[in-house]
């Protein structure tokens, strides 16, 4: 029986002298995809907030729900923004990071984008969609510009507290997000 690995299995990859057996993603592609979603979200937000034109935000929130659902289900490689990000970063050497923390972060993206899809397509206006939209854009900006995956950090905290089981996927994490303890050394690759 073959176990399906979430993320990309990379033969010969090692971290701290040990072979990496878990699925990984290229951090450059992840950050590029976050930047692309940020741009699409910002454009839709500007149309809605300043132009009172709501069709773009309805379309973008629905696209984001599909995008994040694909990322959670099958990985970045098969999502629309993931495809563009792969092309944009094709000449960069990959910077591999564990897939499971990204999956957790993208699951949060699925929840927020589903909420925004329902809210915007129900023609709800005001503080609620504005707040969720600004939160989403902030999270995308942190990932794209600073390389800070807040969802990954939250996931690392949950694992350290024992609220989420440790997984073999915690071998290479961006900025040490999945270190065994907050005082651990930063993970390789950063």
Q: Looking up tokens 């999502």, which residue turns up?
A: 79
Predicted confidence at residue 180, as pLDDT, reads 57
Predicted confidence at residue 9, as pLDDT, reads 86
Predicted confidence at residue 17, as pLDDT, reads 80
**Residue 29 near residue 7 (C-beta atoms within 8 A):** no
Spell out a b/e string for 102-132, using b for 16 or more CB atoms within 10 Å of the CB, else e. bbbbbbbbbebbbbbbebbeeeeeeeebeeb
Closest CA to 134 of 42, 71, 55: 42
**What predicted TM-score, i.e. pTM, was given to this entire model?**
0.87
pLDDT less than 70: residues of the chain: 1-3, 167-171, 175-190
**Residue 118 near residue 61 (C-beta atoms within 8 A):** no
Predicted confidence at residue 160, as pLDDT, reads 86
Q: Bridge partners of 8?
A: 24
Predicted confidence at residue 111, as pLDDT, reads 96
Predicted confidence at residue 185, as pLDDT, reads 41
Predicted confidence at residue 181, as pLDDT, reads 55
Predicted confidence at residue 190, as pLDDT, reads 40
**Residue 23 near residue 8 (C-beta atoms within 8 A):** yes
Predicted confidence at residue 122, as pLDDT, reads 96
**Residue 9 near residue 23 (C-beta atoms within 8 A):** yes
Predicted confidence at residue 188, as pLDDT, reads 45
Render pLDDT for 157-181 as a digit per residue (tens, 0 to 9). 998 898 887 766 566 777 666 665 5
């Amino acid at each position: 029986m073959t176990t399906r690995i979430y993320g990309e299995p990379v033969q010969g990859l090692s971290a701290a002298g040990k072979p990496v057996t878990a699925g990984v993603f290229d951090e450059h592609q992840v950050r590029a995809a976050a930047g692309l979603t940020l741009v699409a979200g910002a454009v839709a937000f500007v149309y809605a907030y300043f132009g009172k034109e709501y069709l773009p935000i309805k379309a973008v929130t629905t696209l984001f729900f599909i995008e994040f659902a694909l990322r959670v289900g099958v990985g970045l490689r098969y999502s629309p923004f993931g495809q563009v990000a792969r092309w944009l970063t094709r000449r960069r050497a990959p910077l591999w990071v564990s897939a499971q923390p990204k999956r957790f972060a993208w699951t949060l993206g699925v929840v927020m984008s589903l909420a925004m899809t329902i809210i915007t397509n129900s023609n709800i206006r005001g503080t609620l969609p504005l707040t969720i939209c600004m939160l989403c854009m902030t999270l995308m900006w942190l990932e794209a510009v600073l390389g800070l995956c807040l969802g990954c950090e939250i996931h690392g905290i949950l694992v350290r507290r024992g609220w989420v089981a440790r997984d073999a996927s915690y071998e290479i994490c961006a900025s040490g997000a999945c270190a065994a303890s907050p005082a651990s050394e930063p993970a390789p690759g950063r």
